[in-house]
């Protein structure tokens, strides 16, 4: 066999190389890479970095600093990274703390993904657990200011928010493998950790309906509200009055008495009938989900029981239009952006349920009746406009506001114009002026 | 002889040989790019009354056109021959019709119209006489349905896009239930249905910009394309041609997207605008066996006619 021909010298050389590799490829902290004096390590650093002596007296100190292993994170002489770190700050912590960001996490905290661990943690030590820079909810609410205002002003608070763990009772500050919003688990599993459904008081409060498997957040605001039972501030009257049987069958199941729009029509008859009498009903109203496509039947934060802000609800299907609107808001050239566009108030011009006009526009005439409600179009400085002015390009079109402007936003074009400059716009019709 | 040819001559000879082989052996050439060449537009009826927000247009092999003039609540029948619209428009404004938005011919020339206000499909004779509302017979549970759109295949079977019970209903030419195909588990919103020459049923999901398909006799839909949002804003209608190419009408983007049978992107035609050749909020499109394309250019209040040029 060929093996007989192998030179023993090569075998020895290979073995030596392999042994050397195994020896020297050991983790960086297990060898004296920088040839420091015995026992020196962090002690030498502290001679100059005196503030760290104070940090060392903190209740919670990073284990590497505690052991005096400054070289676990820093290079003593030179580094390409700030603070003489031995790696980019965004990656450094992950060398040891990989577990904070599970692979394929369903939700993750932006600062964690970006590696901005210092936003919450002091890298050396602090008097707060997990070397956090602040304690309790204060840390979270420092950034989540909107939530902070809401949580503080509500009349009825969620008790778990007020105990020591605070936000961390429900949220994982780093990431959640299974749930949205960094939740440890989704409702109702999460809620049932504290709230026992077999208690008589629980059953009574829920009118004996089998809500054990229901989504608690379809009625309750986990951050507190001004309604008893932390029911969302905007609640369906039937919910606040405990009249579940208005819509649901007897408390043996959660089944509704009728389906979708037919159920809502039981109370909102005039509105539903008027809607269905229009030429163009908004299609989601007549699909399997009906009204509940946009409205929450129980309680929400938004007016009219909407499932989110108007622009968010519309944007779930009409993302392409909302993208234009968002782009227009960010565009510095668009200083004359229409107010409803700026505020994302789509229903100023569109009827969300039904209309007789294309695009579900609320008014028959765009110029006179729609834009004219806010803009004095008759005083438009330069151009004849109105039902008697025929568009040069098409005898079936008259010159109206939408001849030049696009009402939902035009991205990076100024003054909500359809074209990027007035020259290009005007030449659409006035071709004889082309130079 | 080949010895007498120089290098480029040999290459040309090889290429010519390959082309001849492909033509004779009918090897697949792949989908070649198609372009729309503008022919003309229809703006009004014979009396000069302008179209108002037309949303539907159907074409037959006999050069007939039916336009759903939605804003005027009527149907108009035109003849388009030799590249021109002939004089002699027929107006149909039956009481049974409120707001027509889609229309189709069957092989007998009968006219089917989808009325958005009534959410029902209305039948008319070739001459325009009211034949009744389409009432499917023998529907399995649930018997309730809300049509969002419909189409008719080569054998006059009728397919109804039922958004209430999340399915496509297949009816025979007499309106009797044949079978149903349930919607897929995940989708945004289906706004139109089409059937190609092989009997494959196609659905367009405008929210996600995706086409779903169910092959003939298949019981379920699957994705034919991934999201096409790179090319479209909000495709709301679709149709196919004789070769099985799929045409998506991009309502918000004012253009037509052409896909191969396998869902591959071939091209994009027209664009948002007011001038002839451009589209503003287009709705139904129809393509006949001569390769003539008819598009209901809704917000430009006209029907535009193009020819497909390879």
In tens, the pLDDT along A86-104 reads 889 888 999 899 888 888 8
- Residue A34 predicted with pLDDT over 50: yes
- pLDDT, residue A387, reads 86
- Alpha carbon separation from A215 to A172, A200, A399, B74, B271 (Å, rounded): 20, 20, 51, 48, 45
Q: Are A7 and A13 in contact (CB under 8 A)?
A: no
Q: Which of B51, B119, B164 sits opposite A396 (nearest CB)?
A: B51
Tokens of B152: 């008719």
Closest-CA residue to A106 (of A171, A183, A170): A183
Are B12 and B139 contained in the same domain?
no
- Residue A28 predicted with pLDDT over 60: no
Mark which residues 291-320 of A lie under 8 Å from B by CB: 316-320
DSSP state of B236: E
Q: Are B296 and B75 in contact (CB under 8 A)?
A: no
Name the strand (E) or helix (H) holding A312: helix A310-315
Average pLDDT, stretch A200-212? Answer: 93
- Residue A404 predicted with pLDDT over 60: yes
Q: Are residues B163 and A283, on separate chains, in Cβ contact within 8 Å?
A: yes
Closest-CA residue to A342 (of A323, A325, A322, A366): A325
Preferred mutation among B74, B208, B233 to probe A, highest tally of A CBs within 10 A: B233
- Alpha carbon separation from B217 to B136, B181, B183, B307 (Å, rounded): 20, 9, 15, 33
Average pLDDT, stretch B146-155? Answer: 97
Looking at every residue in chain B, the average pLDDT score rounds to 91
Average pLDDT, stretch A248-254? Answer: 91
Q: Are residues B189 and A358, on separate chains, in Cβ contact within 8 Å?
A: no
DSSP state of A128: S
Q: Which of B53, B274, B302 sits opposite A428 (nearest CB)?
A: B274
Q: Are B275 and B265 in contact (CB under 8 A)?
A: no
Average pLDDT, stretch A45-58? Answer: 86
Summarize pLDDT for A366-382 with one digit per residue, the tens: 877 888 888 877 676 67
- pLDDT, residue B61, reads 83
Tokens of B209: 């910009």
DSSP state of A301: S
pTM exceeding 0.80:
yes
Q: Are B198 and B154 in contact (CB under 8 A)?
A: no
Are B270 and B231 contained in the same domain?
yes
Are B155 and B287 contained in the same domain?
yes
Phi-psi region of A259 (alpha: psi -120 to 50; beta: other; left: phi over 0): beta
Q: For residue B5, what are the domain limits? A: 1-30
Q: Are B233 and B252 in contact (CB under 8 A)?
A: yes
Which residue of B lies nearest to A280 if distances are taken between CA atoms?
A: B117
d(C-alpha B109, C-alpha B234), whole Å: 32
Please report the number of interchain residue pairs, chain A to chain B, with beta-carbon separation below 8 angstroms. Answer: 77
Q: Are B294 and B307 in contact (CB under 8 A)?
A: no
What CA dihedral angle connects A239, A242, A246 and A252, to 10 degrees? 110
Min Cα separation A301/chain B (Å): 25
CA angle B175, B180, B183 (to 5 degrees): 130
d(C-alpha B292, C-alpha B305), whole Å: 7
Q: Are residues A397 and B191, on separate chains, in Cβ contact within 8 Å?
A: no
- pLDDT, residue A3, reads 43
Are B217 and B285 contained in the same domain?
yes
Instruction: Tell me, yes or no, if A434 comes closer than 8 A to chain B by beta carbon.
Output: no
The complex's ipTM? 0.89
**Contact residues, chain A, for B166 at CB < 8 Å:** 287-288
Closest-CA residue to B28 (of B215, B224, B195, B260): B260
d(C-alpha A13, C-alpha A21), whole Å: 12
Residues 6+ apart with CB under 8 A from A202: A195, A196
Summarize pLDDT for B12-43 with one digit per residue, the tens: 656 565 554 444 443 334 456 789 999 999 99
What CA dihedral angle connects A371, A374, A378 and A379, to 10 degrees? -130
Name the strand (E) or helix (H) holding A45: helix A42-48
Are B15 and B44 contained in the same domain?
no
d(C-alpha A93, C-alpha A87), whole Å: 9
**Contact residues, chain B, for A397 at CB < 8 Å:** 274, 300-301
Q: Are B201 and B213 in contact (CB under 8 A)?
A: yes
- Residue A1 predicted with pLDDT over 50: no
Are B126 and B143 contained in the same domain?
yes
Q: Are residues B50 and A395, on separate chains, in Cβ contact within 8 Å?
A: yes
Q: Is B73 helix (H, G, I), strand (E, B) or coil?
A: coil
- The residues facing B65 across adjacent strands are B59, B78
Lowest mean pLDDT: which of A156-170, B180-194, B254-268?
Answer: A156-170
d(C-alpha A324, C-alpha A344), whole Å: 11
Burial class from Cβ neighbours inside 10 Å (0-12, 13-18, 19+) for residue A308 reads middle
Kindly give the pairing relationship between strand B210-214 and strand B222-223. Answer: antiparallel
CATH number for the domain harbouring residue B66:
2.120.10.30
Lowest mean pLDDT: which of A17-21, B87-91, B131-135?
Answer: A17-21
Q: List the strands of the sheet with B235-240, edge to edge.
A: B235-240, B246-250, B255-259, B265-269
Closest-CA residue to B172 (of B160, B186, B184): B160
Are B21 and B44 contained in the same domain?
no
Instruction: Tell me, yes or no, if A100 comes closer than 8 A to chain B by beta carbon.
Output: no
Q: Are A227 and A235 in contact (CB under 8 A)?
A: yes
Average pLDDT, stretch B79-106? Answer: 95
DSSP state of A127: S
- pLDDT, residue B181, reads 98
- pLDDT, residue B11, reads 61
Positive or negative: CA dihedral A52, A58, A62, A63: positive
Are B9 and B56 contained in the same domain?
no
Higher pLDDT, A274 or A379: A274
Summarize pLDDT for B225-280 with one digit per residue, the tens: 999 999 999 999 999 999 999 999 999 999 999 999 999 999 999 999 999 999 99
Lowest mean pLDDT: which of A74-83, A303-312, B149-158, B271-280?
Answer: A74-83
Name the strand (E) or helix (H) holding B12: helix B7-25
Tokens of B283: 């709705």
d(C-alpha A376, C-alpha A365), whole Å: 14
- Residue A411 predicted with pLDDT over 90: no
Higher pLDDT, A426 or B155: B155
Q: Give the pLDDT band of residue A26 (cuts 50, 70, 90).
A: very low
- Alpha carbon separation from A120 to A58, A63, A84, A164, A421 (Å, rounded): 16, 17, 21, 17, 47
d(C-alpha A86, C-alpha A96), whole Å: 13
Are B128 and B90 contained in the same domain?
yes
Tokens of B223: 């994705």
Closest-CA residue to A55 (of A118, A125, A123, A121): A125
**Contact residues, chain B, for A287 at CB < 8 Å:** 146, 148, 163-164, 166, 189
Q: Are residues B301 and A287, on separate chains, in Cβ contact within 8 Å?
A: no
Please state, as a whole number, how many other Cβ atoms lie within 10 Å of the Cβ of residue A196. Answer: 9
Are B62 and B18 contained in the same domain?
no
Q: Are A353 and A270 in contact (CB under 8 A)?
A: no
Q: Are residues B165 and A287, on separate chains, in Cβ contact within 8 Å?
A: no
Tokens of A369: 């009746």
- The residues facing A350 across adjacent strands are A361
Looking at every residue in chain A, the average pLDDT score rounds to 87
**Contact residues, chain B, for A279 at CB < 8 Å:** 98-99, 116-117
DSSP state of A205: H
Are B25 and B37 contained in the same domain?
no
State the total domains in chain B: 2
Q: Are A254 and A211 in contact (CB under 8 A)?
A: yes
Positive or negative: CA dihedral A92, A93, A98, A103: negative
Are B233 and B286 contained in the same domain?
yes
- pLDDT, residue A43, reads 74
């Amino acid at each position: 066999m060929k093996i007989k021909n192998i030179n023993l010298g090569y075998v020895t050389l290979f073995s030596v190389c392999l042994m050397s590799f195994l020896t020297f490829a050991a983790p960086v902290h297990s060898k004296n890479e920088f040839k420091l004096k015995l026992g020196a390590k962090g002690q030498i650093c502290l001679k100059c970095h005196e503030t760290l002596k104070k940090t060392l007296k903190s209740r919670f100190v990073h284990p590497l600093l505690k052991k005096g292993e400054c070289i676990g994170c820093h290079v003593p002489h030179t580094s390409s990274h700030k603070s003489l770190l031995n790696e980019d700050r965004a990656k450094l912590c992950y060398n040891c703390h990989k577990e904070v960001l599970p692979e394929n996490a369903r939700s993750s905290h932006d600062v964690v993904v970006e590696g901005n661990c210092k936003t919450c943690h002091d890298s050396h030590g602090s008097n707060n657990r997990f070397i956090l820079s602040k304690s309790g909810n204060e840390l979270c609410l420092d950034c989540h200011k909107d939530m902070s205002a809401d949580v503080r002003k509500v009349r009825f608070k969620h008790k778990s928010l007020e105990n020591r763990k605070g936000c961390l009772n429900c949220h994982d500050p780093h990431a959640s493998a299974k749930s949205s919003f960094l939740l440890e688990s989704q409702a109702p599993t999460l809620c049932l950790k504290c709230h026992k459904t077999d208690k008589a008081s629980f059953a009574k409060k829920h009118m004996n309906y089998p809500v054990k498997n229901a989504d608690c957040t379809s009625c309750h605001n986990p951050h507190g509200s001004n309604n008893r039972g932390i029911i969302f501030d905007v609640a369906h009257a039937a919910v606040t009055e405990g009249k579940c049987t208005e819509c649901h069958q007897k408390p043996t199941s959660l089944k509704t008495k009728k389906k979708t729009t037919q159920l809502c029509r039981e109370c909102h008859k005039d509105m539903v009938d008027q809607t269905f009498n229009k030429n163009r009903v908004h299609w989601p109203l007549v699909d399997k989900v009906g009204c509940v496509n946009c409205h929450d039947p129980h309680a929400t934060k938004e007016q009219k029981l909407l499932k989110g802000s108007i622009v968010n609800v519309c944007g779930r299907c009409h993302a392409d239009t909302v993208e234009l609107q968002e782009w227009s808001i960010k565009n510095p050239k668009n200083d004359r952006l229409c107010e409803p566009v700026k505020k994302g108030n789509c229903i100023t011009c569109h009827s969300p349920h039904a209309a007789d006009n294309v695009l579900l526009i609320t008014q028959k005439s765009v110029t006179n009746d729609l834009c004219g409600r806010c803009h004095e179009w008759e005083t438009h400085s330069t151009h004849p406009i109105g039902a008697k002015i025929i568009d040069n390009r098409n005898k079936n079109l008259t010159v109206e506001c939408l001849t030049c402007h696009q009402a939902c936003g035009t991205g990076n074009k100024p003054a909500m114009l359809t074209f990027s400059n007035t020259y290009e716009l005007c030449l659409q019709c006035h071709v004889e002026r082309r130079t | 002889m080949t010895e007498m040819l120089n290098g480029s001559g040999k290459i040309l000879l090889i290429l010519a040989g390959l082309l001849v082989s492909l033509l004779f052996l009918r090897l697949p050439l792949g989908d070649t790019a198609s372009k729309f060449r503008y022919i003309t537009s229809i703006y009004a009826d014979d009396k000069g009354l302008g179209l108002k927000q037309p949303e539907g247009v159907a074409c037959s092999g006999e050069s007939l056109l039916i336009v759903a003039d939605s804003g005027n609540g009527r149907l108009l029948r035109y003849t388009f021959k030799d590249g021109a619209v002939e004089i002699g428009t027929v107006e149909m404004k039956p009481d049974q019709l409120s707001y027509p938005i889609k229309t189709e011919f069957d092989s007998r020339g009968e006219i089917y119209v989808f009325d958005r206000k009534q959410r029902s499909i209305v039948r008319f004779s070739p001459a325009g006489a009211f034949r009744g509302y389409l009432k499917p017979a023998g529907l399995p549970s649930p018997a309730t349905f809300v049509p969002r759109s419909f189409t008719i295949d080569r054998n006059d079977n009728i397919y109804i896009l039922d958004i209430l019970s999340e399915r496509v209903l297949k009816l025979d030419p007499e309106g009797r239930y044949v079978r149903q195909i349930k919607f897929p588990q995940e989708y945004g919103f289906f706004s139109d249905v089409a059937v190609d020459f092989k009997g494959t049923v196609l659905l367009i999901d405008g929210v996600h910009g995706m086409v779903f398909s169910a092959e003939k006799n298949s019981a379920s839909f699957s994705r034919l394309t991934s999201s096409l949002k790179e090319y479209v804003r909000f495709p709301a209608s679709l149709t196919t041609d004789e070769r099985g190419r799929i045409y998506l009408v991009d309502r918000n983007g004012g253009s037509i997207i052409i896909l191969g049978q396998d869902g591959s992107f071939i091209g994009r035609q027209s664009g948002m605008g007011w001038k002839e050749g451009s589209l503003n909020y287009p709705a139904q499109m129809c393509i006949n066996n001569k390769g003539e394309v008819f598009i209901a250019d809704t917000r430009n209040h006209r029907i535009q006619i193009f020819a497909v040029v390879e």
